[in-house]
């Protein structure tokens, strides 16, 4: 993974087809997925966007003490991962205090310690799935509440349909603290072909085969969908669901890694304008 190359674009938008979000509007401003000349240039981009994802989580109120991990695979050394430092608030994460660790949680670059217990889940997923480049987890209010139900998200809206047949519920190890290697392996098994998981009695996790931008946006979206479903169920009414064929259509068009990346660019642009210190 040395660059975000054309082959990666084609895996998201099929060759010969144009995304509904990429109409023929030559000459107008539209976010473009970057390419890089060197691994160092790519690494800097990944680190900056990892920090932006942490800052976005802070704005969303996803902080809970030192809990919560965001990781992205190094473009030159795929067995290493950049992540947020231990016991540093999401709002205080910046490029200069990121740390790099291996599968075992051993820090190989950076001054801060790593939360090895929480890192177990990420390390297992990354190690078992070489195609997964980024992963997010945080102890959020609605995601944790919804996870206690031990059931999948229902396709009750177009936003929720983005996760239709693209997320799993992990019920095993439900009553145990999710810090054991055994638990990490079960989480890794669940991420075969899925972008999100609801870990019963624990919370939400998302992963991306493309970017930290995508993993972060789909985490934000999943938390929001959990909140919406909890609100609807609290009324006692039975929501009408999107039909399976239409839910699949929505997922294919608005639930891809590319669309997740595209959504996150609005967040990136706002953060660059309002929190430039994150690049320090």
Between the alpha carbon of residue 83 and those of residues 66, 220, 272, the distances in Å are 13, 18, 20
Task: Judge whether 185 and 124 are in contact, CB under 8 Å.
Answer: yes
For the cut 70, the answer to whether the pLDDT of residue 4 exceeds it is: no
Q: Are the C-beta atoms of 193 and 31 separated by less than 8 Å?
A: no
Mean pLDDT of 198-222: 97
> Where do the domains of the chain lie, and which CATH numbers do they carry?
35-267 (3.40.225.10)
259 to 7, 21, 39, 211: CA distances (angstroms): 17, 8, 24, 11
Global pTM value: 0.90
Flag whether pLDDT at 42 surpasses 50. yes
Mean model confidence pLDDT for the chain: 89
CA–CA gap between residue 19 and residue 254 (Å, rounded): 10
174-202 average pLDDT score = 77
- Identify the DSSP state of 74: -
Quote the tokens at residue 88.
């540093």
Which residues does 82 contact at the CB level (< 8 Å), separation at least 6?
Answer: 43, 46, 47, 50, 71, 72, 74, 98, 99, 100
């Amino acid at each position: 993974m040395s660059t975000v190359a054309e082959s990666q674009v084609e895996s998201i938008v099929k060759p010969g087809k144009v995304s509904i979000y990429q109409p023929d509007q030559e000459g107008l401003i539209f976010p473009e997925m970057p390419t890089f000349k060197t691994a160092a240039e790519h690494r800097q981009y990944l680190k900056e966007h990892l920090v932006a994802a942490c800052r976005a989580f802070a704005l969303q109120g996803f902080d809970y003490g030192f809990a919560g991990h965001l990781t992205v695979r190094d473009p030159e050394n795929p067995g290493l991962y950049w992540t947020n430092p231990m016991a540093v608030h999401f709002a205080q994460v910046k490029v200069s205090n990121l740390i790099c660790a291996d599968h075992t949680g051993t820090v190989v670059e950076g001054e801060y310690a790593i939360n090895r217990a929480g890192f177990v889940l990420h390390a297992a997923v990354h190690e078992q799935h070489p195609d997964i480049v980024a992963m997010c987890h945080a102890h959020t209010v609605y995601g944790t509440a919804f996870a206690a139900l031990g059931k999948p998200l229902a396709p009750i809206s177009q936003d929720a349909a983005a996760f239709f047949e693209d997320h799993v519920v992990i019920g095993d190890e439900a009553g145990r603290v999710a810090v054991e290697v055994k638990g990490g392996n079960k989480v890794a098994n669940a991420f075969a072909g899925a972008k999100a998981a609801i870990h019963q009695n624990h919370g939400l996790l998302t992963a991306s085969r493309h970017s930290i931008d995508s993993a972060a946006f789909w985490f934000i979206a999943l938390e929001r969908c959990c909140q919406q479903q909890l609100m609807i169920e609290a009324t006692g009414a039975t929501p009408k669901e999107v039909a399976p064929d239409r839910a699949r259509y929505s997922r294919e068009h608005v639930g891809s890694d590319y669309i997740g990346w595209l959504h996150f660019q609005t967040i990136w642009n706002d953060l660059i304008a309002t929190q430039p210190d994150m690049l320090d």
